[in-house]
Homo-oligomer: A and B are copies of this chain.
Amino acid sequence: MNTPSPLPDNAQTLVKAYLLNLQHQLCEQFEALDGTGRFIHDEWTRPLGGGGITRVLTLGSVFAKVGVNFSHVFGEQLPATASTLRPELQGYRFDALGVSVVSHPDNPYVPTSHANVRFFMAHKDGAPSVWWFGGGFDLTPYYGFEEDCKHWHQTALLACQPFGSDVYPRFKAWCDRYFYLKHREEARGIGGLFFDDYYEHGFQHAFELMQSIGDHFIKGYAPIVQRRKAMPYGPQQQAFQHYRRGRYVEFNLIYDRGTLFGLQSGGRTESILMSLPPEVSWHYNYQPEAHTEEAKLYSDYLPIRDWIT
């Protein structure tokens, strides 16, 4: 592995300040989007080191549940999910800071959204510190709208553009690979951005990239919520939304690195699993009827596509 360039002394302070502010801003923006729902505020400490602030809005006018988590956990041993890809870091102390957001709207025409930005540092006496950024955002519609998907990916492109023209295509493809349910041979949604182990061009560049992605998430999501939140729907659309939310649960519990890292590293279970949807259903061997809006999700939206050109 290449060793990233040295960190400035105040790196952790800078990242933490950004993340706490991002959490605050996102809560304000989600409250404004919702209209009536308000976030509760739960602080927690992790017995093995660190803690976090969990903010959850439930039973709002637009959102059934939104969670915006900040956490900073540290410890003497990197958990297995973080060190399988980097066996050379076994035995390193670590600091992991991040904000993650998941929104589960009531209206099935409003997509579920997820964003995450994170910073890792690993230290060992006598060895150079290792650090990297990761994160991204992705969208999970229940019913597809071309203009929403294009706007979402256009915003993703804008977030990446200042950092080089290769960044969006790289992170978009990474997102498509990451949010994929192998056992269903199906994408979780229409993707967006995903990156990890990022330390290119030094701390300042990498930190700015993470901030740009963190800041663009709500710019991608808010206009879609505004457009769809008042669309009339009935029990059929709601049943399909509950069924599709099952895929979200399957992904998060079987594959998601952040969820497994959190559970393995002794994180706070209720904060980690706040990403799970409020009401979910599984139906044996359900298939949408041909030529319906539900079938179009599978045929036109979930297959990996280029949404920009």
Point out residues on A near B: beta carbons under 8 Å. 42, 56, 58, 65, 67, 182-184, 242, 246, 249-250, 253-254, 263, 269-270, 272-274, 276-285
Contact = CB atoms under 8 A, between A and B. Distances in A.
Given A249-B249, A253-B253, A285 B270 contact: yes
Contacts of A184: 269
B278 A278 contact: no
Contacts of A284: 56, 58, 65, 67, 270, 274
Contacts of A282: 273, 276-278, 280
25 contacts: A56-B284, A56-B285, A58-B283, A58-B284, A65-B284, A183-B263, A183-B272, A184-B269, A242-B279, A249-B253, A249-B280, A250-B253, A250-B273, A253-B253, A273-B282, A274-B284, A276-B282, A277-B282, A278-B281, A278-B282, A278-B283, A279-B279, A279-B281, A280-B281, A280-B282
B269 A183 contact: yes
Instruction: Give the one of A242, A283, A284, A285 with max B CB within 10 A.
Output: A284
Contacts of A276: 246, 282
Looking at chain A's contact residues, is the secondary structure mostly helix, strand, loop, or mixed?
mixed
Given A58-B284, A278-B282, 10 more contacts: A56-B284, A183-B269, A242-B279, A249-B280, A253-B253, A253-B254, A270-B284, A274-B284, A279-B280, A280-B280
A278 B242 CA distance: 10
Contacts of A253: 249-250, 253-254
| Residue of A182, A263, A273, A285 contacting most chain B CB atoms (<10 Å) | A285
A122 B132 CA distance: 43
A183 B263 CA distance: 6
Contacts of A274: 284
Nearest to A184: B269
A279 to B, nearest CB: 5
Contacts of A281: 278-280
A58 B283 CA distance: 9
Contacts of A283: 58, 278
Nearest to A259: B254
A136 to B, nearest CB: 23
